[in-house]
Structure 1
Amino acid sequence: MPNNSWRHIKEMMGSLELGPEADVSQLEPLLTSENIEKLEATFVVKVQASVAQWLQKALDGEVGEWSREQEPNTDPSGFYHSPMPAIVLQILAENIHLAGMVSESLQHRVHGMALSELGTFLKSFSDALIQFSQDHLSGEALAAHYVSYLLAALNHQSELSASLSILHFDGVAPGVLAPVEAGLDELQRRICRLVLEALQVELQPLFTALPSRQWLSSSELLDRVCEQTSNFCRDFRRIRNPEVQVLLAEAERTVVVQYLHALMQGRLVCRSADERAQAAQCLQHDAAQFKELFLSLGLEETAHCTPVLLAVRELLNLCDPTLLGLEVAGLQQQFPDVSEDHVSALLDLRGDVSREQRQAALSSLETGPSSSPRTGRRALFSLVPAPTPALSTCLSGLCT
């Protein structure tokens, strides 16, 4: 019976009498291009409202986690993890795909809308992190695991960045993702800044005791700085590469910048050649200890900026102050963003530099290379607030 039915159907389909009575190729489209344009525009507006609502829900759910008493969730590899990045990209990708089943023009419209909404989402994410930080640091809403949730946010940014290609499809113009990629890069910088500000807040009280007579005679003060830094950075292992290397390098630079700033506050002036030798030895020891600390935390050796302490050490270790110009020129060659005020404050540590010797040393900066950091060289001294020049004009012949 089924075979007979199929045979009859085939015979009917092949009958000329059942053919079309009109030439279909001559029929006009049911909708004009103007109507299609209006329908697509209306559709995109409605989809955009729905997408914006779902993305806001995803963000609200993530922000709600930040006040928990528990640390962020982790994936099987031990990295901080949240479903939010996958949810965000799935919402956008599905709408782009469904639009493509209708027409290519609609897909391009929805794709542009999706990227726009993703950019808005990233801005809202950044704003929420800033508010989270302000509430925590002001004491208005202390978070039990403040830094941990910042680190989790860094992983979310990394996952969004790594999976952004899911929103790409054939026919998309090159560079169309550039604005979103720029937004992701800015989000990464924002999160890193918030983490580093928290590290700076923790270390500032410890650096108020450096340098000092106690620092000259004992490593206890620096041991405390390293211990505090290690405790702060212990959860960096929950961050994926390459972001963990970026954050570790910036954390080391933050510590070194604070160390340099402490050296320039005039808290210690060496009273003899023996004290200058002690101070130089302390700088060498501290540079080695910082290097060991950040190597243990996983920082790649080529990224270290602790060599600046060895360069400063040479300013103290030099026995003949009349040769300081050579050391200052060498310092500027290694770190072009060092300024005259920075060098002057470092020379104050020596305690034996006359006004003429100081001027001769500083003159080597005026004839040296440009003070702007060279291409590929990270800023360092330019991040250290320039100390206020001492009121003393060394009328006695010595700067102290």
Structure 2
Amino acid sequence: MVKAVQSARGVEGGRTDITINKIFPLTFTINLGNKECFVSVGLVKPRGDGGDEPGGGGHSCAAGRGMLQRSDQLDKVDQYRRREARKKASVEARLKAAIQSQLDGVRTGLTQLHTALVDVKEIQSSLGDVSKDWRQSINTIENLKDVKDAVVQHSQLASAVENLKNIFSVPEIVASTQQLIEQADLLQAHRKLMELESSRDDLMYEQYRMDSKNTSDMHLISIYFEDVQGLSDELAKQLWMVLQRAMVTVRRDPTMLVSAVRIIEREEKIDRRMVDRKRQTDFIPPGRPKRWKDKCFRFFSLYHNAVSTRVTELAAEDLEANEIVSLLTWVLNTYKSSEMMGHPELSAECDINSLEPLLPQDVVDELLSKYIQTFTSNITGWLRKALETDKKDWQKETEPEADQDGYYQTTLPAIVFQNHLNELLTRKWLGGSHAVDTICVTVEDYFNDFNKIKNPFNKEMTGEALRRVVVEYLKAVMQKRITFKNADERRDGADRMIKEAEQFKFLFSKLAAGEDTDRLCGAITAIAEVFKLTDPTLLYLEVSTLVSKYPDIREEHVQALLAVRGDASREMRQMIIAL
């Protein structure tokens, strides 16, 4: 390969010097007007640039290898040289700017350090002045001890003056409070008791602050207010009596029970305040903390045990099936619900999960077994009577009932299945009914008996069964048996509808119902999407999609769907129907 390099040290109008790598000694000179260029076959090493050696002028050599590979490119040597010079100048300018930026940063840092040093010296000087002033004022502070004692004494006297009215009227207030307790006016009695306790506690606290070792004055205050503790004990007895008769009191005089709870809450707040002050001053009044709240919730477990005993007695009786359902529903669901023991305000005070179950598990299992046996027996007896009635009807001399097409029919299947169909789209259904499961199992069981029927009769029968099931399901929707109360119920109901549509689809696909399976079951899913929609403003679009997919939907059907949703106003329903 022919390689050439022109030295950057040439002068205008003179000869350009180059250094030839002597691997190949063959060289020749090309005259370019007023310049000459030596060209060599081999590697070229410009003088002073380092050539291709590490750390040398590899850039120039690379430029030569990339630019001067043919003889007709030699006339562009000046152009290449100027371009490389511009690149070099650009690199040098960027390097200079970077170094200048670093220097500016160092200069700024040095300036800030100098400012910080000056500030530190000023602070050091100020601290020295403060220390000097403090040493000079020690004697002055010691001379103010008398003033400090006077301030403490003034605080004590101010507290005494503030409570002077109560101090002089303590016997009168004690008698009035005792009378209120006897009259069962617990709230007013507790208000006066708090006034007495506040006066006593303030006086004792000021005495403690002035001279904590002076027990004689503290004892004198305690003797003067000794009846206050007796009133507190008497009020506590009244509260415990109210709580012990809570089951009766809540029916006869619920305000009395509410008053007792309020008093206990007040005392709990005072206990917390006194405990906090004890952490700060190491002083706590006599009789504190009372812990009435802890004593109150001791009755919680007693009531629970009493209820458990009564429920166990009821479970031991000869209960009917509906009575067993009511008892188990109350024990397993209602008792621990947010309406009773699981109430948020109550759960913050006592953990219901820490209590024993109302009924032992073996008793619950026994009741469930008894209910299943009783229910099975009732169903068997009812079916037997229904069959006997149907048999008698068919044995009569009159013609059997006929449907709208004139075919004879029996109403027995309708009577049997109507109970399950009536559960669809109801509150019971939303809470977890197994009606659809029962329908699917029964249909599949019947088709096992008809599996030998040949096509197209089997397919026609399966398609008709699917159509009847979907029609009954959609009737349940249109009959507005349920109105969803909130978005959560709408979501749960829609999810349940989608799940049950998938059950129907799976069952009848297995039974070979034909191509109508997806279309018919899809109607249930499409209606569920209307219920599931969270933004009411998009109802029009969802209803429009439903109508375009199923054109036979009528106006009353749309009204029924919006009524079941429960969140569409009258104006919105009219607007959707009008559009």
Range into which the TM-score falls when normalised by the shorter chain:
0.3 to 0.5
**Structure ranking higher on relative contact order (CA contacts 8 Å, 6+ apart):** 1
Q: Output the TM-score relative to the length of structure 2.
A: 0.29
Q: Output the TM-score relative to the length of structure 1.
A: 0.42
